Amino acid sequence: MASFPDDNELLSLFRDPQTKEKGYTLLVRKYQEKIYWHIRRLVVDHDDANDVMQNVFIKVWRGLDQFREDARFYTWLYRIATNESLSFLEKEKKNASISYEDVSLALSEKLAAEKDFDVSKIEWKLQLAIQKLPEKQKLVFSLRYYDEMSYEEMSRVLETSEGALKASYHHAVKKIEEYILNG
């Protein structure tokens, strides 16, 4: 895996007109895979995830000059990616005039259509279980389980108390366990 300068160095490169594009390119390269998988776990479909990710990095390009560094860059970037993913899901719901549960069902069906799908494998059961979670629990579970984000960091990304996040994660885990054992 490539080694990247730390975020402060990358931000300095971005803020210098002479190296702005290089700084941005390095930021994208450093975070694109993590952001892609964060988005993909929320929207499921590869093409949709790529579209959302493209919007995220456009917003980063436009907003990076105003980034105040009162939070870590990583936190700011995840907040944008999360908001873009949720906006995408909301737009899907409105376009289809269906409920969140119906969107979850459609995402589960997309997941089942994946070429390597095998419901007997635990990782597929986990993915199906995650798709059945309410939106906030799905998001919290994804950030904690896959991205190994601390509750403190999640609190800044989602602008929610750590206690509420812990409760959401606990409920998500219980529902996933129930689904895997009985589903």
pLDDT of residue 99: 53
Claim to verify: residue 106 and residue 141 sit in the same structural domain:
yes
Question: Are 164 and 175 spatial neighbours (Cβ–Cβ below 8 Å)?
Answer: no
The encoded tokens of residue 6 equal: 């730390």
CB atoms within 10 A of CB 62: 9
Whether the per-residue pLDDT at 103 is higher than 80: the answer is no
Whether the per-residue pLDDT at 119 is higher than 60: the answer is no
Percent of the chain with pLDDT over 90: 48
Rounded distance, CA 81 to CA 42, Å?
Answer: 10
Claim to verify: residue 177 and residue 121 sit in the same structural domain:
yes
Whether the per-residue pLDDT at 76 is higher than 70: the answer is yes
**Position 180 confidence tier, pLDDT thresholds 50, 70, 90:** confident
Claim to verify: residue 83 and residue 152 sit in the same structural domain:
no
Rounded distance, CA 150 to CA 181, Å?
Answer: 27
**Position 36 confidence tier, pLDDT thresholds 50, 70, 90:** very high
Whether the per-residue pLDDT at 93 is higher than 80: the answer is no
17-21, 170-174, 177-181: the lowest-pLDDT one? 177-181
User: Which domain does 55 fall in, by range?
Assistant: 1-97
**What is the dihedral sign for C-alpha 113, 115, 120, 125?**
negative
Alpha helix (H) residue ranges in the chain: 7-15, 20-43, 46-63, 73-96, 100-113, 122-131, 135-141, 151-158, 162-182
Q: What is the CATH number of the domain that holds 135?
A: 1.10.10.10
Q: What is the CATH number of the domain that holds 8?
A: 1.10.1740.10
Burial classification of residue 145, based on how many CB atoms lie within 10 Å of its CB (0-12 exposed, 13-18 middle, 19 or more buried):
middle
pLDDT of residue 20: 93
Rounded distance, CA 80 to CA 15, Å?
Answer: 20
Claim to verify: residue 106 and residue 89 sit in the same structural domain:
no
Q: Which 8-state DSSP code applies to residue 66?
A: G
Whether the per-residue pLDDT at 49 is higher than 60: the answer is yes
pLDDT of residue 84: 95
Percent of the chain with pLDDT over 70: 83
pTM: predicted TM-score of the whole model, two decimal places: 0.72
pLDDT of residue 131: 82
Which domain-ending residue is among 76, 97, 118? 97
Angle at 100 between CA 176 and CA 97, to 5 degrees: 160
Question: Are 43 and 89 spatial neighbours (Cβ–Cβ below 8 Å)?
Answer: yes
Whether the per-residue pLDDT at 71 is higher than 60: the answer is yes
pLDDT of residue 19: 94
